Structure 1
Amino acid sequence: MNEPILIVEGITDKKHIKKMLAQPLEIICTYGTLGLERLDELIYEYDLDHRNVYILVDEDYSGYRLREQFREELPHAVHLYTSKTYREVAATPEPELARMLAGYRFRIKPVYMM
């Protein structure tokens, strides 16, 4: 498989994660739920059928709906979860999010691993 890719809902989530990473990683935003046509475009555009795909979305209704869409279309994707306490990826404290990402072998800058 090609380089891994992380799928998040919004640009704030992307920025929150990107600053912690000590590795290049392509992060794409869905900007909420996707129509089937747009999902198919993403799969084709990023060759998601042949990549290690990670999904990290908010713990809310739109996040659940998005996960279901990806489970259907990309059954090989790995779903990452933030704590239901924080509900949103962007609201998750950096050390907690960093530990979770490190647990999936993403390289994290040491300053975030306290």
Structure 2
Amino acid sequence: MSDKVIIVEGNRDRRKVLSVLDEDAEIICTNGTIGLEKLDELVDRLEGLDVYILVDADDSGEKLRKQLRREMPNAKHLYIEPVYREVEDAPRTHVADVLQRANILVKTIL
């Protein structure tokens, strides 16, 4: 398992991140919401790893971000521009820029 974990909402978000990622990182999909039991398991499993939260810039994304912030206070929060609203709709270049600013390696040719 990689030392870096990126939490996203859905499979399309996961595919978008994978399309620009140029290092080994685990990408976890919450499928929009996450139950308390599953969240507790996730928190335990990710203890000591570099966790990044990249969710949509909408109400459901912000609700999930708040929940994850409470349970994983050391996670780093990454934000797409609100104009794109969803990670899957953001241009690959923008997603790459967001990841790169967090010192995550991205492909140079997009």
State the alpha-carbon separation in 2 of the partners of residues 48 and 33 from structure 1: 18
Superposed CA RMSD in Å reads: 1.1
State the alpha-carbon separation in 2 of the partners of residues 105 and 74 from structure 1: 19
Identity %: 44
Residue type at the aligned position of 2:25? L
The residue aligned with 1:87 is 85
The residue aligned with 1:77 is 75
Q: Deviation of residue 49 (structure 1)? A: 2.3
SS at match of 1:71: helix
1:1-114 matched pairs, under 5 angstroms: 3-44=3-44, 47-112=45-110
Using the size of structure 1 for normalisation, the TM-score is 0.90
State the alpha-carbon separation in 1 of the partners of residues 102 and 39 from structure 2: 24
Query: What residue ranges of structure 1 are gaps of 5+ in the alignment?
Result: none
Query: What residue ranges of structure 2 are gaps of 5+ in the alignment?
Result: none
Equivalenced residue count is 109
SS at match of 1:79: strand
Q: Deviation of residue 57 (structure 1)? A: 0.3
State the alpha-carbon separation in 2 of the partners of residues 49 and 25 from structure 1: 15
Residue type at the aligned position of 1:26? E
